[in-house]
A and B are shown apart, each in its own frame.
Chain A
Amino acid sequence: MLRSISVDSLMPYFGVVILIFAGSAFFPQVLSVDYLTQQLQIAAFLGLLATGATIVILLGHIDLSVPWVLTGAAILSTALVGSGNPVLGALAVPAALAFGALIGVINAAGVAILRIPSMVWTLAVNSMLLGLAVLNTGGFNPRGESSELMITMASGDLFELPVSFLIWIAVSLALTWLLTRTPFGRYLRSIGHNEKASFLSGVSTPSVLFAAFAIAGMCSALGGVLLAGYANQAYQSMGDPFLLPTIAAVVIGGTSILGGRGGLFGTIGGALFITLLTSILSVMQIGDAWRNIIFGVIILVMLLFQTLRKGAPA
């Protein structure tokens, strides 16, 4: 994890500290343990999605299928539990993860084999998943419920910390190890820098793409399972509000949108920052309109700060 710490990736953590102090000036309860642990719990949902997105963005690609992979995983897992069959119920979480990996493979097939830009191919996959969900549920809210396991994963506590937060950190640590200590991680970054050069150096670039997109799909699916556990149900377009904050969390965390540079340490900070920002703005009872404006301005300011710090004009 140490290796992925850079000045850029520390930025959102400074932001979090400033937000907490500024927020506590208006609302003392921001400093309470209850409020802060609740933020950790909620940040885990965005954080897991952003973890997957970081992997894909490090490759120099982007995954716009996050919303309906998340929703699909939530629908699948709650439907399996809701079927009443204990065997199917126990399979809910693994099945959702397998679903995420499958969609990741489909994403990668378009990008790696057909060489379609990931931005449009994952968008098309997203709309196909939407179509499948509509066909499957008849346009109504899907029936089903969450299992005990899913509810514990989303809302349980362990050692005074939310289980969802611990899951998120565990996934981040595992993937950081993968990114920094294995050939796969090196190949991933080198493809992000220059795919042609990586290919010419003998890296099997398609297999790296397949693995990366599958991991990202599983992260999105895990996020969906947790969200379903949190709400105790799945609902149509539950993933749509997450797409843009996910990308924002990754970029604020210092990962270059062009690929090759960045890491998961910054992404954790980015997800915490965005969750806290959203929460404090709603605690302050600021209307939807101003919340959008402030959100956009703060993201711009943080990004401009990153380039200003690098000094000399291009």
Chain B
Amino acid sequence: MLDYVRSNRREVIAGVVLVVLLAGYIGTHPRGASTYVMTIWANQGLILGLAACAQFFAVVVRGIDLSVGAIMALTNCIASYLLDGSALGIGFGMFAVVAAGAACGLLNGVIIVYGRLQPIVVTLATASIFVGIALLLRPTPGGAINYDLADAITLDVLGIPTALIITGVVIMGFWLPFRRTGLGLGLYALGSSEQAAFQSGINTKFIRLAAFTLAGFFGGLAGLYYSFVTTTGDAGIAPGFTLNSIAAVVLGGVLLRGGVGSLVGALAGAFILKTIASLMFFSGLPSLAQPLFEGMILAAAIAIGGADVLRARNKLEAYS
């Protein structure tokens, strides 16, 4: 048990912080831990959580994806056209929305790998393109999502918020098996040391392409889920989600220099960030002071993560 905690220290810390914050939130909320409160909390958390998953796949291979929010905006706008009508049409629409996200990610990957450019500048440029296409589709917010389906996916099953069930499926059904596959291990190998990975015979180009495609895939999922929660298409959602997804993965213990962290941490970080925001809302602080406190808590949380440096045995360890 102790070994398990030690080897997953980062995820455990993020989990503990999340539980403490959530307890504080439920404690201060006038309606307590009702299904209603938990559902809204989980929905907000899952949107950012999926965006953080997208960011995780870019960060773990020592990259960064500044187009996460733009892919969400684009897929959200596509969803607002396709997710209404017959059951078959909606089924196809959901597939098309996520596929569009994956295609955006693949495009990022192809330019990064074959154009030999830095991910940060490539995704900066493609983000502009994706937002442009989203604006072509929806110059002003609008469109519709099938309400029955949206309700089914954003409410609760037997008192458990559906969003938490989806989170569980992503972790149990996707992540835990995935990280044991060759691709899952390859992501960490590439992020830790590209040269060592290459010399061990790993196809680094393929791994990097796959990582950015997965990032796009989760960006598409985030856009899809956002559509179910808001039931409209809006091209203007990009900037907030991109920056918050970076903050979320860092809070979840994923290192920006690659090779360290997990999808579970990224999800935990996203829920932490959303819990802080909700906690502010019910904390009784004057509403004008809330953004400042939110920023200070975010900075404090990141600074505590940086406290690793105090444990460094010698000064050189800090310069890795």
Residues of A near any B CB (own CB < 8 A): 62, 64, 110, 114-117, 119-121, 123-125, 127-132, 134-135, 138-139, 195-196, 199-200, 240, 244, 247-248, 251, 257-258, 287-297, 299-300, 303-304, 307, 313-314
Contact = CB atoms under 8 A, between A and B. Distances in A.
Given A114-B307, A300-B111, A120 B256 contact: yes
Given A114-B306, A257-B121, A132 B135 contact: no
A299 B289 CA distance: 39
B127 A296 contact: yes
Interface stretch (B39-47, B82-90, B112-120, B152-160): B112-120
A170 B178 CA distance: 55
Interface stretch (B20-28, B166-174, B294-302): B294-302
Nearest to A125: B299
A86 B132 CA distance: 47
B64 interface: yes
Interface string B284-320: 0000111111111011001101111100000110111
B291 to A, nearest CB: 4
Contacts of B129: 292-293, 296-297, 300
Given A127-B291, A248-B125, A303-B121, A121 B302 contact: yes
Given A119-B246, A289-B139, A295-B128, A131 B292 contact: yes
A257 B295 contact: no
Nearest to B255: A117
Nearest to B235: A289
Interface in B144-195: none
Interface in B60-112: 64, 111
A303 B115 contact: yes
Contacts of A247: 120-121, 124
A302 to B, nearest CB: 9
Given A128-B299, A135-B291, 13 more contacts: A114-B306, A115-B318, A116-B302, A120-B302, A124-B247, A131-B295, A247-B124, A292-B128, A292-B129, A296-B126, A299-B121, A304-B115, A307-B117
Interface residues of B, number: 52
Nearest to B296: A128
The 6 A-B residue pairs with the shortest CB-CB distance, nearest first, are A131-B292, A292-B132, A296-B128, A293-B132, A289-B135, A296-B129
Given A120-B246, A314-B116, A303 B291 contact: no
Residue of A115, A195, A240, A288 with highest tally of chain B CB at under 10 A: A115
Contacts of A64: 243
13 contacts: A117-B250, A123-B243, A124-B247, A124-B302, A131-B296, A134-B291, A196-B319, A247-B120, A290-B136, A293-B129, A295-B128, A299-B121, A300-B111
Contacts of A313: 116
Nearest to A294: B132
A131 B122 CA distance: 30
Contact of B291 (A121, A131, A199, A200): A131
Given A124-B247, A131-B296, A290 B132 contact: yes
B12 interface: no
A291 B136 CA distance: 11
Given A135-B291, A290-B132, A300-B125, A240 B239 contact: yes
A196 B318 CA distance: 9
A244 B117 contact: no
A115 B306 contact: yes
B289 A135 contact: yes
B9 interface: no
A135 B309 CA distance: 33
Nearest to B315: A199
B295 A128 contact: yes
Contacts of B288: 134-135, 138-139
Given A128-B299, A299-B128, A116 B291 contact: no
Contacts of B121: 247-248, 251, 257, 299, 303
A244 B296 contact: no
A66 to B, nearest CB: 13
B247 A244 contact: no
A294 to B, nearest CB: 8
A300 B247 contact: no
Residue of B121, B307, B316 with highest tally of chain A CB at under 10 A: B121
A263 to B, nearest CB: 17
Nearest to B136: A289
B125 to A, nearest CB: 4
Contacts of B256: 117, 119-120
B133 interface: yes
A285 B240 CA distance: 28
B3 to A, nearest CB: 27
A198 to B, nearest CB: 9
A287 B316 CA distance: 52
B124 A248 contact: yes
B207 interface: no
Nearest to A112: B318
Contacts of B246: 119-120, 123
